[in-house]
Structure 1
């Protein structure tokens, strides 16, 4: 039977990590527009609360460090079981590989990969107990290609690992009713890239390598997330869905 309202998320409870700005904030808004009750989390409570204030009056906001297993487990126990989890929290930095410190490598991997795994583990347990749930991880086209000219091997490696973690969890949990997918965005106009946007030569190089010849918008990624979280994607699990303006086609 066809879905009459394919992305209808009414009655669903969703949690978004890194919801304080950029793609995370856009995901919170997109899920809310489709009817979900959204919980906004961010390492900065003020940022999460700012996003929550633009949603329904009952939207909750929590400070959450995705590298902290105890905090994740405590929040998962405090909340009702989730229907939707969006693992968006992430960081990026640039450093030539031969000059990169252990601390910089560890920090990016701890947040971008460890944070995704720990979030999926903490909230996924409750989904598995109920026999249903949808998880959407925010990967990156950087998990498929090597960005140029910026040196960011730690970021690229973390996102490639997120993609394979997504597939691994999808296979482990498919028969138990939990779908796990990821979105792999191109360069997105977010606060993270605000400073880079001032570097015209760098932007020109990126756009020359993008068939659509433009940056993506956070809401464009968020709409893909809402689709993957919905029943319209009920047969989709283990997918890495590119939202890259054709970048990885070249």
Structure 2
């Protein structure tokens, strides 16, 4: 609904623009050892939604892409580690960099997606997962 509202204004002003939707690496991989099919399906849905919106709104100069982070240490994840301490140990071993990410590691990618630096990029998913999905 937010993307629709934003696109409507972009079309009204006739200048195009860029929409970046936050998805997840979990939209393209199955998370080892986790029962999270509803979460993964919702993130896969966001990636596909962005592709379709890109095709619909491209003629109006509107670009739509997704940003798909890997495991991020947030307050919610810290609370999860309290309940499942083995995840703090195991998750970093599941990517090539051997660590978990921090929210600030996605700033540059987000700026890129909404700036003119990505002016020929639409319908794409930018997965930043420390190499998790490359194995």
1:159 counterpart = 2:43:
yes
Q: TM-score, normalised by structure 1?
A: 0.51
* Alignment partner, residue 180 of structure 1: 64
SS where residue 170 of structure 1 aligns? helix
For normalisation by structure 2, the TM-score amounts to: 0.93
| SS in structure 1 of the partner of residue 20 of structure 2 | strand
Counterparts of 1:37-116 in structure 2, within 5 Å, are none
Secondary structure class of the residue paired with 1:194:
helix
Alpha-carbon distance in 1 for matches of 2:34, 2:131:
20
Residue 3 (structure 2) pairs with residue 120 (structure 1): yes
Matches of 1:136 and 1:222, distance apart in 2: 12
SS where residue 133 of structure 2 aligns?
helix
Whether 1:129 aligns to 2:12 is: yes
Are positions 1:190 and 2:80 aligned together?
A: no
Q: Which residue of 1 aligns with 2:104?
A: 219
- SS of the counterpart of 2:34? coil
Instruction: State the match for 2:116 in structure 1.
Output: 231
Q: In the aligned structure 1, how far is the partner of 2:81 from the partner of 2:96?
A: 19
Q: What CA distance in whole angstroms lies between the structure 2 residues aligned with 1:179 and 1:190?
A: 29
Describe the superposition over 1:170-208 as per-residue Cα deviations: whole angstroms up to 9, x where unpaired. Answer: 111112111101100000011121112344321222111
Larger radius of gyration: 1
**1:242 Cα shift?**
0.8
Higher relative contact order (CA 8 A, sep 6+): 2
> Does 1:148 pair with 2:38?
no
**What is the CA–CA distance in structure 2 between the aligned matches of 1:197 and 1:223, rounded to whole Å?**
27
Equivalent of residue 247 in structure 1, options 125, 132, 135 = 132
What does residue 108 of structure 1 align with? none
Which has the larger share of helix? 2
Tell me if 1:170 matches 2:63: no
CA distance in 2, matches of 1:204, 1:154: 24
* Cα distance, 1:211 vs structure 2: 0.6
Q: CA deviation at 1:217?
A: 1.1
Any idea what the Cα deviations from partners look like across 1:34-57, whole Å, max 9, x if unmatched?
xxxxxxxxxxxxxxxxxxxxxxxx
Q: How many residues align?
A: 133
